[in-house]
């Protein structure tokens, strides 16, 4: 299995309301994906963040190919 591709958007409320995006490709369930991103952000020192969107690009790609 090639894995699923997720596009994840999140904001870090630091007075600027910056939005960041990450793309992950792995055999994650959505819960595992959230845990992975949360762990990475906490290790980077970002304790406060809000995940605004999780988009499964794999599904979109399959729909476009049909």
Question: Which pair of structure tokens corresponds to residue 30?
Answer: 């959505």
Report domain extents, the chain: 4-65
3-57 pLDDT per residue, tens: 788 898 988 877 776 788 888 888 888 888 889 888 988 888 878 888 889 888 8
Contact 5, 56 (CB under 8 A): yes
Position 2 pLDDT exceeds 70: no
DSSP string for 6-66 = EEEEEEE-SSS-EEEEEEEEES--HHHHHHHHHHHHHHTT----EEEEEEEHHHHHHHHH-
Position 1 pLDDT exceeds 50: no
């Amino acid at each position: 299995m090639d894995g699923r591709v997720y596009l994840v958007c999140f904001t870090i409320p630091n007075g600027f309301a910056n939005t960041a995006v990450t793309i992950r490709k792995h055999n994650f369930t959505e819960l595992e994906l959230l845990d992975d991103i949360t762990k990475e952000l906490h290790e980077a020192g970002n304790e406060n963040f809000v995940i605004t969107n999780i988009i499964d690009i794999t599904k979109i790609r399959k729909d476009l190919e049909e």
